[in-house]
Structure 1
Amino acid sequence: MKHFPRLAAFLLSLLTLHLSLFSADDPAAESHRLKLGMQAWTFKAPLTFAEAVERTSALGIRYIQAYRGQKIGGGIEGELLPDMDAATREKVLALLKKHNVTLASFGVYTPKTDEECRQLFAFAKAMGLRDLAIEPGMAKWPEILPVIEKLARETGVKAGIHNHPNPNRPSEYMASLKPYGSEIGLFADTGHWARSGWEPVAGLREVRERLVGVHFKDLTDFVRKAHDVPWGSGAGNAAGQIAELRRQKFDGVVYIEYEYRTPALPDEVAASVDWFNRANAAPLADLDANRVPPKGFTHDATAVTATKAPSGTKPWQGPKPLFAPDLANADCKPGSWAWENGVLTAKGGGDLWTKESYGDFYLSLEFRCAEKSNSGVFLRCSDTKNWLDNAIEVQILQGDAPSERELVGAIFDCLAPSRQVEIEPGKWHQYVISARGSRITVLLDGEQLVSMNLAQWKEPGKNPDGTPNKFKKAYKDMAPKGRIGLQYHGAPIEFRNLYIDPI
C-alpha cells in the first residue's frame, strides 16, 4: 500500500472546508455521471487506430477521440485524416461498431485555411462526431473563428479550443471567446494547465460555461516537465476535478490522454479507469473528503504499518486550523489581533505568531486587503524579535511596489512572482503555500507564482541573479523549522480559513 499524495489530499480537504462553490446536496449533481473516453494518442504509434480501439473496448470505454495521421490498421489501408474517402470512412465506422466504440471527437487539429476548416467539418459530420478539438493560434482567432463558428452551426458539430502549456489564463480564453457563439468553446487539458502553473479545479470552474471536452490528467507536479501518473495518485487533485465536473453536470466526454511513455502504460491506464469508475459513482462528499483513494493506496494507518511502509509514512488526516478560536496557541500583544465572525483581524500593535514550529507543510489561508495594504506571511521563523533575517516572508501587497520582488506573491526581496497580480481591495484572495525542504511554492488564487529553491541563495545580501537583498543571512542557511507569522504593517489586513497540514 502507498501513502496518498499530500498536496492532492490537502487541496481536496480544503474543498470540503471552505472552497466549494456548489452545494454537494444538489440531487442532480449527486446523481450525475460523467462519460469516459480514450484519446487514441494514449495508444499512439507504433500502435494503429484499430489496436487503440480494441484496447479502449477491452477497458470498457465506449468513446474514443482520434488524432490526425494515425495508421488505421485492422486490414484498412491509410491514415486517419479529414480527407479520407467515403469507402475508408465506412470501413472505420464498421471497425468501431464491431468493438462497440463511438468515434466522438477528432483532434487536436490546427486548420489553417477556410478550405481546411470546411474539409474538417465535412469529415466530422460524415463520421457523426460530437465535437472537434482544435488549436489555432490566438492571433489567428479573428480570422478563422468566424469561419469555424459558421461551420459548427451548420453541421451541429461543436468546436473546442485546446490549450497546450502557455502563459494564458483560462479566464483569458473565456474573455477572447466572448464575441463568438456557443458553438465554440474550450477543450480543456487539465494537465497542461498544471504544467502552466494553473490549478486544474479552478480552471474547470472558470471555463464551465464554455466547456466542450476535457483531456483529463493527473501529474507528478505543477511544473513543465511533470508527467502522467495513475489518476488519483498525483498532484492534480483528480477527485476535485471529477467533483467539479459532476457539479457542473458536464455532458461532454472526459478523455484519458496518457502522454507518459512507460512500460507500465497498460497497467497505469487500467488503474486510471478503475479509479474513475469509483470516483464517478462515489457520493460528492466522499470526493470532497478524500475517501476515494487510487488503486493500491490506503488511508488506513493499520494497513500502512502492516505493509512495512517507509519510516515516517502515515495516513493523511487532513489539515488543522492554524490558530485556535481563543488564540491560545498564538503569540501576540494583548488586543493586537482578534477573531470577529470567523475573520482574524489585525487591530494594531504587532505581528501574530504560532507558538508551534513547523518544518515541511502545506499552508492555506485567505486574506483581504484595504487599499495600499502591506502585510505578509512569515515561514519557519527562528527568531521572532529579529524576523527580518530569520524568516521567509511571502509578500502581501495591494498596489504597485518599487521592486518586483516586493509584489504580492513574491518571496520578499528575494524572488519576484511570475507576473503581477492585481489585488482588489475588499476582496478575499487565497494563498496555498508549500514548504518542503529547500523548496518553497506559492499559489495565489490557484495560480503558481513562485517556485523557489532556497539552496540557490548562497550569499548574505545577494540574490542568485546578482541583485542585492536586505538580509544578513543567506537563505540557504535559514532554519529548516520555525514559527509561522502574520504581519501587521500599519494598514488594515484580515485573514480567514487558515489551515496547516504538516508533512
Structure 2
Amino acid sequence: MSSSTALSRRGFGRLGASAALLSPLAGLVPQALAAPGDSPRSDGDPWLGLKVGVASYSLSKLSLDEAIKGIRRVGVNYVSIKDSHLPLKSTAEQRKAVVRKFRDAGITTLSCGVVGMNDDEASLRNAFEYARDAGIPTIVCKPTRKSLPQLDKLVKEFDIRLAIHNHGPEDQVWPSPLDAWEAVQPFDERIGLCIDVGHTARCGVDPAEAIRKCAPRLYDLHFKDLASREGKSRPVVVGWGVLDTLAMLRALLEIKYSHHVGLEYEAEMNDPLPGVAESIGYVRGALASLKS
C-alpha cells in the first residue's frame, strides 16, 4: 500500500463513506450538483472541475429506469451508457429517447461503450450512427488494429471521438494504454484512449503516469480500485484496494482533464448501489483533501 493511499484512508475514508452512504442513498442530492451545461469549475464544486460520473456497465443488471434513479441517488450527473441500457441494435428514435431520459433526470451522457469493433465497415458505421443518433460525443471501444485506417475516415465523417479501452495482460491487442497511445499516433487526433486504471495497473504501468503521458488524447477514463495488481484481481470499493486514488486524481487535475471520469464498479453486480455510492463518496472525500 502506498503512503498516500494509507494517508487518504485515515484522512478522509470516513468522510467519503458517510457522504456516499448517508446522503445519496437517503435520496438526497448534494447542493453542489450542477445542471447539464453548467460550467464544471465554480466556487464550491466538490469535484474540482472533474466530470465524475458512472459507467452504466456498473449497473448493467438494473433496468434503465433503475440505473437512472441509482445514478441520481449517488449524487453525480454524468454517465457512459453501456448497450445493456441502449442496445446497439436500436432505432434512431429509441436512441434519442434513452438519452432524453437521462437528460430529463439531470444526467449528461458523455460517452457510450465499451463497443467491440471488428473490421466490417457496416458494423463500424453502425457504431458511429448509434452515437450520432443519441448525440453522444465519444465512443469507448475495442477495435482491431487493422480497422484503424477505416476508423480514421469515420471520425472525420461523423466528428465523433473514439476512446480505445485497454483490458489488461489478457488482452492480446490493447493490454496497456501505452499500446493504444503508440498505435493512434499516425491517425486523426479524434482517435484516442479510455484508460482503465485497474487494467493499466495490472500491466505494471502506473495509472497516474499513463494519464499524464496520454493526456492529449485521453477522452474517457474508467476509475476503480483492485484488491491487488496481480492476475485478474478482484474489484473492490474505491479506497479499499491497492490503487493510489490521490495520485490518479492529482494527475487528472494537473492535465485539466475535461472528459468523463466514469466509476466502473464490477463487484456485487446484483446489488451495486452501496459499493457505487461508497466509491463515489470516497472520490469526493479525496478531492476535498486535495482542495484543502
Pairwise TM-score range, normalised by the shorter structure? 0.7 to 0.9
Tell me the residue number matched to 1:50.
65
Q: Is 1:280–2:287 an aligned residue pair?
A: yes
- For structure 1, which runs of at least 5 residues remain unmatched after alignment? 1-6, 14-30, 73-79, 287-503
Q: Is the 8 A contact 1:108 1:134 kept in 2?
A: yes
How far apart are residue 169 of structure 1 and its match? 4.3
Compared CA separation, residues 83 and 44, structure 1 to 2 (3 A): closer
2:244 maps to which of 228, 237, 243: 237
- Superposed CA deviations along residues 27-52 of structure 1, whole A, max 9, x for unmatched, are xxxx952101111111112x222211
Compared CA separation, residues 50 and 8, structure 1 to 2 (3 A): farther
Task: Map 1:236-315 to 2 at 5 A.
Answer: 236-261=243-268, 265-283=272-290
Tell me the residue number matched to 2:113.
107
Tell me the residue number matched to 2:51.
35
Q: Is 1:8–2:11 an aligned residue pair?
A: no
SS in structure 1 opposite 2:163? strand
**RMSD of equivalent CA atoms:** 2.3
Which protein, 1 or 2, shows the higher relative CO under an 8 Å CA cutoff with sep ≥ 6?
A: 2
Q: Is the 8 A contact 2:96 2:133 kept in 1?
A: no
Tell me the residue number matched to 1:145.
148
Q: Is the 8 A contact 1:208 1:248 kept in 2?
A: yes
- Superposed CA deviations along residues 422-447 of structure 1, whole A, max 9, x for unmatched, are xxxxxxxxxxxxxxxxxxxxxxxxxx
Q: Is the 8 A contact 2:141 2:162 kept in 1?
A: yes
SS in structure 1 opposite 2:236? coil
Compared CA separation, residues 226 and 118, structure 1 to 2 (3 A): same
- Superposed CA deviations along residues 465-488 of structure 1, whole A, max 9, x for unmatched, are xxxxxxxxxxxxxxxxxxxxxxxx
Q: Is the 8 A contact 1:33 1:280 kept in 2?
A: no
Structure 1 CA distance for aligned equivalents of residues 48 and 152 of structure 2? 29
Compared CA separation, residues 87 and 205, structure 1 to 2 (3 A): closer
Compared CA separation, residues 283 and 155, structure 1 to 2 (3 A): same
- Larger Rg: 1 or 2? 1
Q: Is the 8 A contact 1:12 1:239 kept in 2?
A: no
Residue type of the alignment partner of 2:55: Q
Which aligned segments of 4 or more residues in structure 1 are displaced greater than 6 angstroms? none
- Superposed CA deviations along residues 162-196 of structure 1, whole A, max 9, x for unmatched, are 01112744333322211112100111100111223
Compared CA separation, residues 10 and 100, structure 1 to 2 (3 A): closer
Tell me the residue number matched to 2:80.
65
SS in structure 2 opposite 1:215? strand
Residue type of the alignment partner of 2:105: H
Task: Map 1:53-452 to 2 at 5 A.
Answer: 53-68=68-83, 70=84, 72=85, 80-112=86-118, 113-137=120-144, 141=145, 143-166=146-169, 168-261=175-268, 265-283=272-290
Structure 1 CA distance for aligned equivalents of residues 91 and 52 of structure 2? 29
User: Normalising by structure 1, what TM-score?
Assistant: 0.46
How far apart are residue 158 of structure 1 and its match? 0.6
- For structure 2, which runs of at least 5 residues remain unmatched after alignment? 8-46
Task: Write 1 or 2 for the structure with the bigger share of strand.
Answer: 1
Structure 2 CA distance for aligned equivalents of residues 11 and 55 of structure 1? 28
Residue type of the alignment partner of 1:60: G
Aligned residues: 248
Tell me the residue number matched to 2:25.
none
Q: Is the 8 A contact 1:177 1:185 kept in 2?
A: yes
User: Normalising by structure 2, what TM-score?
Assistant: 0.77
Identity %: 26
Q: Is the 8 A contact 1:220 1:226 kept in 2?
A: yes
How far apart are residue 231 of structure 1 and its match? 1.8
Residue type of the alignment partner of 1:8: S
Residue type of the alignment partner of 2:68: V
